[in-house]
A and B are shown apart, each in its own frame.
Chain A
C-alpha cells in the first residue's frame, strides 16, 4: 500500500492548458476518484501519474519516492484501460502472465498469482479462452486481473465501466468496492459518472478545466459543495439555484423574490456585504410541504408539473420568476395542483457568490 502525492502538476497542449498546477494527496488505501465532464483533464492527470505522457512542470511521488523522471513500468503502478487493451491473440492465461514472464518472475510464482486472481475475480473457467470469446464484463474482469497480478503499489483505472451496459455497470460497482475492501489497495479512478464516484470513492476530486474544484469525501461534497460547479455536478437530481441578495436585519437574511429568508446558523466563511448578490442553493430533498411540520422558512409557489421517478417524485413549482423543485412522495404528489406552501431546510442550504462561484 502506498500513497500518491502530486505537486504542482502542469501540462499544456500548445495553447490549451490541460492541467493547471494540480496538488493532490492520496493516502495509502484510499479510493480516490477523479470526477468531471469530458475535457476537464481527469484522464490527462491519470496518464501523468502513470508516466504515460510527459508533463510540463510539477512532480509525482508514489510511496514517498519521486517517480517523475521514471518510466511507467518503474513506478510500481498497474492500470486498467477503458477499452481493456487485452492482447487479442493470447489466451486469458497468457494475457495475465505475459508481463510477469517478460520480467523473469519464476514460473511457480506466476502460477500462484494467476490462480489467486482467477479465484478472486471468478475467471478460472475462462483461462483458456481468447478475448474475442469473452463478454464485455468478462473482459473487464480479465483486465482487472492483469492489473492485480502485477502486485503494484497503486492501481489506476481509466473509466473501466463506461463500455458496459447499465445493469452490468451496477454489478461491477459492487465488485470493485468489494475488491478495494478485501485488498486494501490504493486506487485512483477516473469517471464522468457521479453515481459511480459517490458509491465507490473514499475521496473525490471534482475537476473542471484542468483544475480541482474540490477534493473531499462524498458526504462533504454532497452537503457542503465548495463551488457552484460542484454543487450542480454532484447529486442525481440537480440542486435548485435561486439568485437573490444578502441582507442584514436582526440576523442574516437572503432576499429572494419577494421573501426575506432567515439564514440563522449558516456558517459563513467571511463577513458579507449587505446587499451583496448571492445564489441560494438547496437540494430538492430539502424542500418539502409546509404542512409536514418540517419547520424552517416557508415560501409560496404555484404547481407546474410532476416528474414521477419510481420511488420518489420530483415536483416542479413556479416561485415568482424562478422554478424550484422538491422531492415528494408519490402519494403527496398525486393530484397536486395550484398554490402550495413549501418549507426549506436551512441547515442544508449552500450559498454561493455569483461572480466567484465560491461558497460563502
Chain B
C-alpha cells in the first residue's frame, strides 16, 4: 500500500475512536442526569405546583394561589409540628455540636484507649433511627424506664415522664438525636483537629498559652468552615426527620411531638390530603434551601478564592 494511503487509513479509526470514548462517558451519565432531572427536580416542581392547586383527596390541577398555605398555617397540628422543628432543631444542633466538639477535643489531647472510645461513640451511627427511637422510648418510659429505676432505688416521688407529657415530649427527641449523631460530629471535628499544623501548637507552648485557650481562640476558629458544615448537616437531618419521631413518640401524645417530616407523610397517605401534604412538603423544601443556599454560596466563593 502506498505510504500516503497508509497514513490516511490509520488516522481515520483513531479519530472515530476518540469520539467513541467520550460518547461512552456521556452515555453512562445520561441515565443519571435524566433521573435527576425527572425524579428529583421534576418531581419537586410537581409537588410545588400541587401546593398551589385545589388538590384535596385527589390531585386537582386548578390553580388556587396560596390557598393551601393559608389553610396549612391555620391547622393547629401543622403549627405544632412547625414550631417543634425549630425547638428540636436548635437543641439538637447545640447538643450534638457541643458534645461532639468536646469529645473531639478531649480525644485530640492524646488519650490512651482512643480506639475503644471512638468505637463506643460511633456505634450509634450504625443503628437505624427506628431502633434508636424505640430504644430511647423504652429508656425514658415512666413505667419501665428511668423513672421506674430511680423510684426503685428509693426516691419514691421521682418523676421523669416527659415522654408522656404533651408539653415536654418533643424534648425527649433531643436525647435520642444527640446520642445518635454526636459521634459523627466527633469524627468530622477530630479529622479537622488532626489537620492543624503542629507548629502552631508548638508556638503556643512557647508563648505559655494554656490548651483550652488554644482551642477556643485559635484552633476552633480555624475550623469554622467545618463547624458550619456540621451545623448544616444536623439542621437538614432535623428537617427530614421521620423515622425517629415515628418510633419514639409516634408524634404524640396526640400530635404534641409531631414534626413536618411526619406531617407530610401522614397527610399524603393516611389523611389523603394531597394539597396540604404538598404545601407542607414545599415548606420543608424551602427550609432546606434556606439553610443550604448561604452555605453553598460561602463554600463556592471560598473555593474560587
Contact = CB atoms under 8 A, between A and B. Distances in A.
Interface stretch (A83-91, A111-119, A232-240, A329-337): A83-91
Contact of A85 (B203, B221, B222): B203
Given A87-B218, A89-B221, A81 B199 contact: yes
B86 to A, nearest CB: 30
Contacts of B209: 98-99, 102
A79 B202 contact: yes
Interface residues of A, number: 23
A98 B217 contact: yes
A85 B197 contact: yes
A85 B207 contact: no
Interface in B186-237: 197, 199-200, 202-203, 205-210, 213, 217-218, 221-222, 224
Nearest to A150: B207
A246 interface: no
A71 B205 CA distance: 8
Contact of B202 (A78, A81, A146, A150): A81
B132 to A, nearest CB: 36
Interface in A94-116: 98-99, 102-103
A342 interface: no
A50 interface: yes
Contacts of B207: 73, 98-99, 102-103, 150
Nearest to B305: A132
A188 interface: no
A300 to B, nearest CB: 56
Given A79-B202, A83-B199, A85-B200, A102 B221 contact: no
A217 interface: no
A99 B213 CA distance: 11
B202 A52 contact: yes
A73 B206 contact: yes
B208 A102 contact: yes
Interface in A31-61: 50, 52
Given A85-B197, A85-B200, A78 B206 contact: yes
Contacts of A78: 206
Contacts of B217: 87, 90, 98
Contacts of A279: none
A26 interface: no
A77 interface: yes
A77 B222 contact: no
Contacts of A72: 202, 205-206
A260 B7 CA distance: 70
Contacts of B208: 71, 73-74, 99, 102-103
Prevailing SS type, chain B contact patch: helix
Contacts of B205: 52, 71-73
B203 A102 contact: no
Contacts of A73: 205-208
A219 B224 CA distance: 52
A358 interface: no
A52 B207 CA distance: 12
Contacts of B210: 102
A318 interface: no
A79 B201 CA distance: 12
Contacts of A87: 200, 217-218
Contacts of A50: 206
Nearest to B220: A89
A82 interface: yes
A89 B222 contact: yes
Interface string A333-355: 00000000000000000000000
B9 to A, nearest CB: 51
A103 B206 CA distance: 12
A99 B221 CA distance: 17
A160 to B, nearest CB: 12
A91 to B, nearest CB: 12
A346 to B, nearest CB: 49
Contacts of A102: 207-210, 213
A12 B18 CA distance: 58
Contacts of B221: 89
A70 to B, nearest CB: 11
B202 A85 contact: yes
B208 to A, nearest CB: 3
Contacts of A85: 197, 199-200, 202-203
Interface string B161-205: 000000000000000000000000000000000000101101101
A50 B204 CA distance: 13
A73 B211 CA distance: 13
Nearest to B198: A85
Nearest to A80: B203
B51 to A, nearest CB: 43
A83 B207 CA distance: 17
Contacts of A103: 207-208
Given A87-B218, A98-B217, A77 B197 contact: no
A88 B283 CA distance: 39
B241 to A, nearest CB: 34
28 contacts: A50-B206, A52-B202, A52-B206, A71-B205, A72-B205, A73-B206, A74-B208, A77-B206, A78-B206, A79-B202, A81-B199, A81-B202, A81-B203, A82-B199, A85-B200, A87-B200, A88-B222, A89-B222, A89-B224, A98-B207, A98-B209, A98-B217, A99-B207, A102-B208, A102-B209, A103-B207, A103-B208, A150-B207
Interface of B: 197, 199-200, 202-203, 205-210, 213, 217-218, 221-222, 224
Interface of A: 50, 52, 71-74, 77-79, 81-83, 85, 87-90, 98-99, 102-103, 146, 150
**Which 10 residue pairs spanning A and B have beta carbons closest together?**
A99-B207, A73-B208, A85-B199, A89-B221, A85-B203, A81-B199, A72-B206, A85-B200, A72-B205, A102-B209
Given A81-B199, A88-B222, A150-B207, 11 more contacts: A52-B205, A71-B205, A73-B205, A77-B206, A81-B203, A83-B197, A85-B199, A85-B202, A89-B221, A90-B217, A102-B208
